[in-house]
């Protein structure tokens, strides 16, 4: 007996209806990207590990899916190395490539490789899958799509403002209420400086970023485990738990970070973004959140994260400014900023809130019943006419029993069925059945088109 087939944990199959929903998501996001002048590119699913490693911090490196070399991957490996069972070292010997972890690092590699073909500032978007060897859980998958938009070659904060506008426009189109969280890595660096732990900035940001997930006590315990003194942890508490309006938070930070040049620069940048966004009538809630750290090491300025207000799920979009990412590929001085929409989480949010427009998930609109060769020959030109007019139509391929064909229409939720027998052919018409109401009408092909288009 054959083994029951399955798929890897953290991956999913998608039915035709689910794919229609996903395409609605992709198309909506794509329309907004185009509206703001972004152009589409694609990069390979796998990259050289030398491109990926070291770009996401130690935690990110552990989540990279590595691809085993083809051929004799044992060649060049000693028995001693094999017997050592050192997984990290052996993986470095066995694997030269990996599945991409995100779309930003491959994009940086693309910019460096194609710099002579690109006009800067370069605004690009990608809608492609990424892979992470993470523990699967609700809203977290090992294979998922990202919808990224980045602009490189410009230091202007207007780019950050536009990204917030794009976030706002996308989720307003979806009908999802969101909160856009904003912070700045320069502010976090300033905080690390004033508590006397500037060299621990990565440990601090990684820990703070987990506040929503593990709570304040566990964040403090993690900070202590990284060698940060209790005195410094105590100084950190009122800062990361700062409350009030955006204006009040900024004024407090101006006082707290007055002795940190880097921190004050972050406050200045945040103030410009928040004030400009507020003046543009953005509908979504935009909040300065000092607990937002986004653990990825390459962020250097403004950082963003989007939360759905009516669904319990992780962030559904995020991003930020990175001033030195292309430098690791030999191209210094190329600043960039971008956001990523988590299509799979957005899919779950729209499902839970039942926000898909009916027209987005509808498949076939009109089915022609097949009673035999003569009837089919009569129907085919009408079918072609319907398709030429943009009606999604099909004919049942086999001359099967009426019950079977009507069951097919019901299973596919086809709203209209066209029936042609001897009487209809004699009159040059068709009988149209409305599958919702059960009503039937004898119509010409022109009347049929008008009725279906309704």
- Structural domain spans, the chain: 10-174, 177-309, 363-453
Same topology between domain 10-174 and domain 177-309: yes
What does the pLDDT read at residue 82? 67
Q: Domain spanning 177-309: which CATH class is it, in words?
A: alpha beta
What does the pLDDT read at residue 420? 97
What does the pLDDT read at residue 164? 98
Q: Which of 175-179, 209-213, 309-313 has the lowest mean pLDDT?
A: 209-213
What does the pLDDT read at residue 234? 83
What pLDDT digit, counting tens, does each position of 292-310 carry? 877 556 789 999 999 999 9
Superfamily of chain region 363-453 = Anticodon-binding domain (3.40.50.800)
* Residue 65, number of CB atoms within 10 A of its CB: 18
Per-residue tokens: 69: 């070399």
- The mean per-residue pLDDT over the stretch 11-18 comes to 92
- The mean per-residue pLDDT over the stretch 61-71 comes to 83
* % pLDDT > 90, the chain: 64
Annotated binding site: 102-104, 132, 146, 150, 294, 298-299
What does the pLDDT read at residue 73? 63
What pLDDT digit, counting tens, does each position of 88-132 carry? 666 666 788 999 999 988 998 999 999 999 999 999 999 999 999
Provide the pairing of β-strand 122-131 with 143-152. antiparallel
Average pLDDT over all residues of the chain: 90
- Asked whether the predicted pLDDT for residue 327 surpasses 70, the reply is yes
250 Rama class: left (phi>0) / alpha (psi -120 to 50) / beta? alpha
What pLDDT digit, counting tens, does each position of 230-273 carry? 988 887 787 777 889 999 999 989 988 999 999 999 999 999 99
Instruction: Give residue 79's pLDDT band: very low, low, confident or very high (50, 70, 90).
Output: low
- Asked whether the predicted pLDDT for residue 333 surpasses 90, the reply is no
Topology adopted by domain 10-174:
BirA Bifunctional Protein; domain 2 (3.30.930)
What does the pLDDT read at residue 83? 66
What pLDDT digit, counting tens, does each position of 138-194 carry? 768 899 999 999 999 999 999 999 999 999 999 999 999 999 999 999 998 898 888
Instruction: Give residue 62's pLDDT band: very low, low, confident or very high (50, 70, 90).
Output: confident
Asked if the bond preceding 57 is cis, omega within 30° of 0, the reply is no
- The mean per-residue pLDDT over the stretch 306-322 comes to 93
What does the pLDDT read at residue 75? 65
What does the pLDDT read at residue 139? 67
pTM reported for the whole predicted model: 0.84
- The mean per-residue pLDDT over the stretch 365-388 comes to 97
Annotated binding site for L-histidine: 102-104, 132, 146, 150, 294, 298-299
- The mean per-residue pLDDT over the stretch 193-218 comes to 80
What does the pLDDT read at residue 60? 83
What does the pLDDT read at residue 340? 93
């Amino acid at each position: 007996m054959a083994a029951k087939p399955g798929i890897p944990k953290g991956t999913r199959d998608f039915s035709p209806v689910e794919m229609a929903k996903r395409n609605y998501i992709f198309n909506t996001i794509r329309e907004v990207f185009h509206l703001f002048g972004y152009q589409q590119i694609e990069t390979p699913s796998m990259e050289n590990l030398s491109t990926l490693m070291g770009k996401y911090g130690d935690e990110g490196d552990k989540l990279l899916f590595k691809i085993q070399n083809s051929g004799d991957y044992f060649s060049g490996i000693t028995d001693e190395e094999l017997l050592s069972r050192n997984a990290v070292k052996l993986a470095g010997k066995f694997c030269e490539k990996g599945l991409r972890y995100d779309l930003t690092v491959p994009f940086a590699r693309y910019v460096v490789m194609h710099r002579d073909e690109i006009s800067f500032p370069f605004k690009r978007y990608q809608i492609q899958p990424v892979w992470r060897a993470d523990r699967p859980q609700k809203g977290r998958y090992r294979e998922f799509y990202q919808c990224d938009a980045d602009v490189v070659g410009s230091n202007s904060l207007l780019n950050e403002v536009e990204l917030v506008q794009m976030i706002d426009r996308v989720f307003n189109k979806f009908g999802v209420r969101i909160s856009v969280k904003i912070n700045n890595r320069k502010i976090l660096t300033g905080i690390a400086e004033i508590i006397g732990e500037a060299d621990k900035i990565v440990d601090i940001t990684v820990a703070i970023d987990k506040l929503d997930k593990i709570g304040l006590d566990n964040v403090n315990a993690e900070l202590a485990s990284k060698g940060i003194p209790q005195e410094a942890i105590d100084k950190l508490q009122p800062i990361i738990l700062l409350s009030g309006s955006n204006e009040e938070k900024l004024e407090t930070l101006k006082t707290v970070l007055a002795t940190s040049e880097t921190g004050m620069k972050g406050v200045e940048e945040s103030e410009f973004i928040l004030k400009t966004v507020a003046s543009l009538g953005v509908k979504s809630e935009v909040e300065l959140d000092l607990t937002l750290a986004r653990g990825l090491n390459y962020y250097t300025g403004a950082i963003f994260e989007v939360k759905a207000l009516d669904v319990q799920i992780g962030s559904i979009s995020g991003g930020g400014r990175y001033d030195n990412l292309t430098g690791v590929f030999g191209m210094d001085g190329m600043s960039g900023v971008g956001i990523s929409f988590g299509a799979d989480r957005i899919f779950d949010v729209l499902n839970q809130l039942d926000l898909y427009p009916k027209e987005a998930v509808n498949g076939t609109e009109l089915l022609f019943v097949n009673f035999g060769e003569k009837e089919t020959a009569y129907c085919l030109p009408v079918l072609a006419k319907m398709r030429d007019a943009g009606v999604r139509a099909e004919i049942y391929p086999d001359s099967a029993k009426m019950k079977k064909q009507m069951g097919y229409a019901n299973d596919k939720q086809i709203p209209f069925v066209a029936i042609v027998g001897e009487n209809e052919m004699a009159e040059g018409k068709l009988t149209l059945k409305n599958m919702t109401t059960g009503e039937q009408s004898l119509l010409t092909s022109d009347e049929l088109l008008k009725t279906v288009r309704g």
